[in-house]
Amino acid sequence: MSAVSLGADEVIDYTEDDYTEDDFAETVRDVDLVIDSIGGDYGTRSLRTLRDGGILAQLKPEPDDDLSRQAGERGIWAGFVLVEPDNAAMATIAEPAGAGRLGAEVGTALPPEQAARAHELGESNRTTGKIVCSVTG
């Protein structure tokens, strides 16, 4: 499953040797939505990629006052998004999931004894797909 198959118009391959972390903010422009799962200065840099009136959804702590001010000047909504369990939403996706129409990309599968390695990979912010610890039994 590729990013393009999921609906992405543009894809930056951060595994390329010449990629630097600033590339996304220099390469991508006029997007409608950024989901920032990293935090730090990624929110501020992500503002450069958004169109006026876009959305910056942060999964880390709420945006600071300066980021909120910059976003507000351009009509960009910037805020912290918390995802909570929702039974109605789960029921909605149960049928397509059961029919095999939903899937997840598994990037790495490790045995339970390598759980520490799985955490290291996740914390690197440089993985593609889900990191799974397979348990058999």
- What confidence tens digit (pLDDT) does each residue in 22-69 have? 677 888 889 998 888 888 888 999 999 999 999 999 988 777 899 999
Among 10-19, 44-53, 75-84, the minimum mean pLDDT is found in: 10-19
| 114 token code pair | 């390598």
Confidence class of residue 91 from pLDDT cuts 50, 70 and 90? confident
The Cα-based distances of 110 to 30, 47, 71, 120, 132 in angstroms read 38, 36, 41, 12, 6
Is 70 exceeded by the pLDDT of residue 90?
yes
pLDDT surpassing 90 at residue 8: no
Residues 118, 110 contacting (CB under 8 angstroms): yes
Residues 49 and 25 sit within 8 Å (Cβ to Cβ): yes
Give the 3-state secondary structure of residue 116.
helix
Q: Is the pLDDT of residue 137 over 60?
A: no
| Residue whose C-alpha is closest to residue 55's, from 39, 26, 32, 73 | 32
User: Closest Cα to residue 131, out of 113, 105, 101?
Assistant: 105
The pLDDT of residue 3 is 63
**Average per-residue pLDDT for the chain:** 84
What would the mean pLDDT of 80-89 be, rounded to a whole number? Answer: 83
Q: How is residue 132 annotated by DSSP?
A: E
Say what the pTM is: 0.60
